Structure 1
Amino acid sequence: MAEIETALREFVMVAYKKQTYMNILYLLFSFPLGTAYFVFLVTGLSLGFGLLLVWIGIPVLVLVFLAWWEIASFERQMAIWLLGIDIPSMSLKPVNEKSILGRALYRVKSPVTWKALLFLLVKFPLGIFSLVVMAFLVSLTLGMLINPILYLVGESFASSLQEAILVSISGIFVGLASMHVLNLLAHISGSFAKRMLSGYEKQADVSLVEEMNS
């Protein structure tokens, strides 16, 4: 009985947690940002490779290359701020190079750079999926909550006012369940960001080697 009460309390308390709304905010940002990243990267890379024969493509590719690192850094920081997760630094060691070319060469060698590119490209379909799921859950919840009003204006599927009220009450539970679904989706997005926007694997390997040596 105590386990059921605890589970029910956790189910209801999702609506009172600040992190729930931070997660929803992160998911809301996913679609517009993912679209912007995809358009920028596809356009920039296509233009850069297309102009390689006249050499103009080289500085274009360098600029796009440096830009996607900065964008990925922003995404990493946003995930830390909104999702409350700890993501290790994208750089495995301090960058001492001051020239653009030197920094570019350093980042070319970093596997995080290429994982970050994949993350930014995948964020576009992930943002679309998040938007569709969120729109569906919000529409379903609101439609159930206002069902008595819909019944009074003749737009409800309920056969009686009592049934419409029961649907509306059920909408509260559907809304709470929707928050749990969005939290899960945000958790998956956060885990993906942590995997792709950090030097986690190499840092873990280094720590393991240090422990073995000690």
Structure 2
Amino acid sequence: MFDNNSSIHRFINVAFKRQTYLNTLYLLFTFPLGTAYFVFLVTGLSLGFTLSIVWLGIPILILVFLAWWEIASFERQLAIWFLDVEISPMIIEEVHGKSILEKGIMRLKNPVTWKGLLFLIIKFPFGILSLVVTVVLISLSLSLLFAPLAYLLGNVSGIDAMWEAIAIFALGIIVSFLSMHVMNFLAYLAGKLAVLLLGSSAEISSKIPNTVEWDVTNH
């Protein structure tokens, strides 16, 4: 019906791509994960630095350091699985045969360690944004799409005829497609951020999901 390269085709096809729903799931999980990371890091680092004057804080800081590395590694895999991006390894040096101390020093010198910490901190405000945008868009879309059913059940005020409910339903279809593109754009930004901060090299190009068609006129 539509040319595969047409803007209308790309606009509508977003609803039929698996990546769109993986992107949405990633965005929904961003807020709880980001909140947990932020609370853990703020509490752990604050406690560690406060108690470091009596040396008790040193092991706490070491544990927090080890934990945020593993969390960053988990986030890297999460981005690869859900956002379909390619991220270079966090460590490119050979670690076999090295002592625990040598491995610890390598991680301290590794830029990904500190970029990963930045990523975990940024994930909290980004998670708030993602949650608000995703929940609002999904709620708005569903409320419009279910307008005819709500009218039949008598639960909608301000709609006096079935044709009005059907018109709202049609508007809901358009809003749903727009919402998917907006959420794909947020996922696109999250993927770019993961590539930049969670890989050993910022030069690797990301594999952008096919459904990230937030600009439907320039493809």
| TM-score for the superposition, normalised by structure 2 | 0.86
Match of 2:110?
110
Task: Single out whichever of 10-19 and 195-204 deviates more from structure 2.
Answer: 195-204
Q: CA deviation at 1:63?
A: 1.0
Task: Spell out, residue by residue over 1:104-152, the C-alpha distance to the aligned partner (whole angstroms, 9 max, x if none).
Answer: 2111111111110010011011111101001110111011111123334
* Ranges in structure 2 where 5+ consecutive residues have no aligned partner: 206-219
CA RMSD of aligned residues (A): 2.2
Alignment of 1:53-202 (within 5 A): 53-96=53-96, 98-152=98-152, 153-201=154-202
Query: Displaced runs of 4+ in structure 1, greater than 4 A?
Result: 2-5
Q: CA deviation at 1:165?
A: 1.0
Q: CA deviation at 1:4?
A: 9.7
Percent of aligned pairs sharing the same letter = 54
> Which structure is richer in relative contact order (CA contacts within 8 A, separation 6 or more)?
2
Q: CA deviation at 1:98?
A: 4.3
Q: Are 2:146 and 2:169, in contact at CA under 8 Å, matched by a contact in 1? A: yes
Aligned partners of 2:111 and 2:142: how far apart in 1?
Answer: 45
Task: Single out whichever of 90-99 and 186-195 deviates more from structure 2.
Answer: 90-99
**2:156 partner SS:** coil
* Ranges in structure 1 where 5+ consecutive residues have no aligned partner: 205-214
Q: CA deviation at 1:202?
A: 7.4
Aligned partners of 2:5 and 2:65: how far apart in 1?
Answer: 53
Aligned partners of 2:204 and 2:188: how far apart in 1?
Answer: 22
Q: Are 1:116 and 1:196, in contact at CA under 8 Å, matched by a contact in 2? A: yes
Q: Are 1:97 and 1:103, in contact at CA under 8 Å, matched by a contact in 2? A: no
Match of 2:215?
none
Q: CA deviation at 1:170?
A: 1.3
Aligned residues, how many?
204
Q: Are 1:156 and 1:164, in contact at CA under 8 Å, matched by a contact in 2? A: no
